[in-house]
Structures are given as C-alpha cells and as structure tokens.
Amino acid sequence: MDPLEDLFTFLRFPSISADSQFRNEVEACAEWLCHRLTQAGLEAHRLVTPGFPVVVARNQHRPDRKTVLIYGHYDVQPVDPLALWDSLPFEPVVKGNKIYARGATDNKGQILAHILGVEQALREKGDLPVNVVFVIEGEEEVGSGHLGQVLTDHRQALGADIVAVSDTGMVAPGIPTFTYGLRGIFCLELRLQGPAVDLHSGIFGGSVANPATVLSRMLSALHDAHGRVAVPGFYDDVKPLEDWERTLWAQLPLTDELWLRTTGAKQLSGEEGFSTLERVWARPTAEINGLASGYQGEGSKTIVPSRAVAKLSFRLVPNQDPEKIRRQVTDFLRRLCPESVSMDTLSQHEGKPYLVRPDSSYGRAAQRALERTFQKPVAFIREGGSIPITQTFKDVLGTDTLLLGLALPDCKAHSPNENFLLENFYAGIRLNQNLLEELAHVT
C-alpha cells in the first residue's frame, strides 16, 4: 500500500481536541490509529482517560534489548480562520512536493512515518533491533492534561531507556536537526466584566468604565519599551544563553530575510539585545492569542460593552517554572485591574521548558541516525515551541527525550495551509529505521 494513502486517511479525521464539538471525530481517529498499529504488526490498545484515549502499541519485547518509547499525538489544532485556507483543512491534497492539511506536519505526518518505518522493518526483517513502545496521545494541543497520569499508572509497562519524538523542526530542507531544548508554556484567559449588559454609548458613555478600554490598558502593561515582559520577577529564573549557542545559531541558514518571508510580517521585532533565533528559542514571551469584546459584526454598534476577554499565553525558557510564572502574572494583572470592573482568570494548559545535554550517548546515536538519513552534518538547535510531555517523561519515567523533528520553517503548523514536504515524510520512515538501529548499539 502507498504510504501516502495512509497519510490521507489519517489527515481526514478532524481530530481537534480544543473544540468539544469534534469529540466524536477525535475518538474515531484514535480507533483508526489503534487499528492501523495492529495492522503494522504491533500489539495495540487504547488507554482510557477522562479526556481522549492514549493509543499504545508495542512489538514483542525481549529483555536483552534497549527499549525505545516513540511519542506522538493524533490531535490537531483548530482550523479557523477557515477562509484563509486554499483547500479544506481535512481534505488533504498534494500540490507540488507538499501535502496540505491540518496536522500534515503537526503531528500526523511525522508520527505516521515512525509507524510505517517500524512496519516496513518488521515486514522485511521479521523483527526490530530494539523494543518499541508507541505512546500516541490525543490531547497534546490542549496541554497533555492526562498523559502524566497515564505514564504514572503504567510506569512499568511504558518504561523505556530513551524517548524519541518527531514533533520539532529542521532548520532547512535536507539539513538534519537535533533539538536539545524547548520552551515551556502557560496559558490564561483574562475576563473583565464592566456593566451588567452592553450599554448605549450615548446614554451611558463616559460614566462607567469600558471593560475593553480597561483590558487594553492592562494588556499594554505586559511589555516595557524594550520588548521585555514587564511582569515583576518574570526573568528571575531565566538561564542565560551560553556563548557556544549564540555562536552556533548565528551560523545557521535561518536568516532574518527568510524569517520575514515565512511570517509575512512587515519587519521583525522583539526583545532588545537578542537575535531572532535567540528571541524564539531562548527568551520567554507574553503573547495575546485572542481578543473579544462587544460588537464585531458588520458596520458599527455604539455600545459600551459589558465584557472583554483576552486569551494569553506565555512561552517559558529554562529554568522558569510555569506555576511560579502563573502566580506572578495573575498577581500582576490583579494589581493592574481597577476597582471599576470585575476580573476573572481561567487558567489553561501549562508545561515546563526542557533542556538536555546534546552529547549524551543516546544523543550521539540519534545524531548518527540523522546523518545517515540525510547525508549531511547535524545542526544543533533549541526550539520555541512547547512539548511539555518531555519534562513529564523525565519526571515520571526518568527518561530523556530525543527530539528529531521534520517540520520545516514554512510548514504553517497551527496556521491556515499547514503542509508537510513529501520527501520529509519518506525521510521520516528511513530515519525511524536508522534511529532504532543506532539506539540498539548504545552501550
């Protein structure tokens, strides 16, 4: 069977974990995945959680071999704004050398390459060089709220010598990339309530606090004039960049010009004193992910809105602690909020930042697998995204994680027209096989 056909099937499930109206589709995706893993020659089942199931699969384990846990996720981000997609997000299409669909890169394409690599090896050689455990969850895009408990409950069965994750990026097509650090995250919804209902802005305007105005003032205080987050204590635990990191990163083929083209921004901007890569890989941020207040329809509606809401997320770097930052941010917002409106915060998902030594024996094995697959020297990077579960693997299983991602800078993960380079899909299948062989020989 053409590997692409499997990818098409996987991508057609609208497995959006953030939106409860897609609950059935997320479940159906888990069911298909479990079936597909069984078909690949693995023993597969779903572990029920209060949220979406974790799909687990393993080959026949032998005690004299290394055990590799391969982690991925079958859930995807929401798709709006739908109008900006050139083709429907859940009707994958191949155009040029790419496949376009929500989840193509993040993470369905990458995790499926691992599955197909294992299937192929099993078919061709009858066995794998290592014990493999797939752990594929359905809540990564909403913070992996139940995976920690699953790992804790099944610590014995899911124990491994090393974890491998393909959910990170390559610096450019054809350049194998080893990611040794990730940012953490903490999300918060800020809700302000002014008058009991939307008021006529003529009859009442000027006499009561406008919650949208208050929200703007509060949010404007999040950053100082130098692009730094102005929450007191926010930078206290930030680990400074090492000189070797700044040097290596400055040599990467990720130029500001490419970054500008990829983002489509008018110009790059951010915290003073840092390069673009330093800003996104090693510096924390405060971002507004969404704003909502009052009338948003066509034309005008002259009201003082009753409510104003902001969705906020904070990207964290080693050694910031999400719990500590949450307290700092909440205190900061509470101090900023005037008496004239009511404030409420809804804490959303969070995850710790991650940093590993790139020169461990497993790290070196992974780097050899990358070089064999792409026939090029490996680039060493950190990443700006968050895979909070890497820290959970460390905390619960005591296991380090290898980040061997295949996402390209213009893959548009989380954006309209998400895509995956077809050659990376096939490279992922080879990488899986090279990786398992190299890890088998680690002493």
Where in 198-237 is the site for its own copies (CB under 8 A)? Answer: 198-210, 212-213, 215-217, 219-223
The C-alpha angle 102, 106, 111, rounded to 5 degrees, equals 115
Instruction: State yes or no: residue 285 binds its own copies (CB under 8 A).
Output: yes
Q: Which is nearer to its own copies, 9 or 213 (CB)?
A: 213
Range 371-430, binding its own copies (CB under 8 A): 383-386, 409, 412-417
What's the min distance (Å) between Cβ of 173 and its own copies?
Answer: 16
Q: Which is nearer to its own copies, 58 or 315 (CB)?
A: 315
Place of tokens 């995204």: 385
Q: What's the sign of the alpha-carbon dihedral 76, 81, 85, 88?
A: positive
Instruction: State yes or no: residue 297 binds its own copies (CB under 8 A).
Output: yes
Q: Which is nearer to its own copies, 392 or 417 (CB)?
A: 417
Rule CB under 8 A: choose which of 164, 303, 396, 397 binds its own copies: 303
Rule CB under 8 A: choose which of 113, 128, 142, 160 binds its own copies: 142
Q: Which is nearer to its own copies, 95 or 301 (CB)?
A: 301
Rule CB under 8 A: choose which of 309, 370, 421, 439 binds its own copies: 309
The beta-strand segments (E) located in 335-415 are: 342-351, 354-355, 379-383, 401-403
Q: Which is nearer to its own copies, 303 or 378 (CB)?
A: 303
Exposure b/e, 48-72, CB count within 10 A at least 16 = b? ebebbbbbbbbbeeeeebbbbbbbb
Q: Which is nearer to its own copies, 219 or 431 (CB)?
A: 219
What's the min distance (Å) between Cβ of 299 and its own copies?
Answer: 4
**Residue 421 CB partners (closer than 8 Å, separation 6+):** 97, 98, 173, 406, 408, 411
Tell me the HSE value of 381 on the side-chain side, using a 13 A CA sphere. Answer: 29
What's the min distance (Å) between Cβ of 101 and its own copies?
Answer: 16
Instruction: State yes or no: residue 269 binds its own copies (CB under 8 A).
Output: yes
287: number of Cβ within 10 Å:
11
Phi, psi of 223 (to 5 degrees): -120, 150
**Residue 325 CB partners (closer than 8 Å, separation 6+):** 186, 231, 234, 314, 316
Burial of residue 82 (number of CB atoms within 10 Å: 0-12, 13-18, 19+): exposed
How many residues bind its own copies, per CB under 8 A? Answer: 101
Q: Which stretch binds its own copies (CB under 8 A): 39-47, 90-98, 292-300, 365-373?
A: 292-300
Q: Which stretch binds its own copies (CB under 8 A): 236-244, 299-307, 357-365, 370-378?
A: 299-307
The two three-digit tokens of residue 62, written as one number: 């032998």
Instruction: State yes or no: residue 342 binds its own copies (CB under 8 A).
Output: yes
What's the min distance (Å) between Cβ of 158 and its own copies?
Answer: 26
127: number of Cβ within 10 Å:
12
d(CA 119, CA 216): 53
What's the min distance (Å) between Cβ of 177 and its own copies?
Answer: 13
Site string for its own copies, 179-198 (x = CB under 8 A): ----x-x-x-x----xxxxx
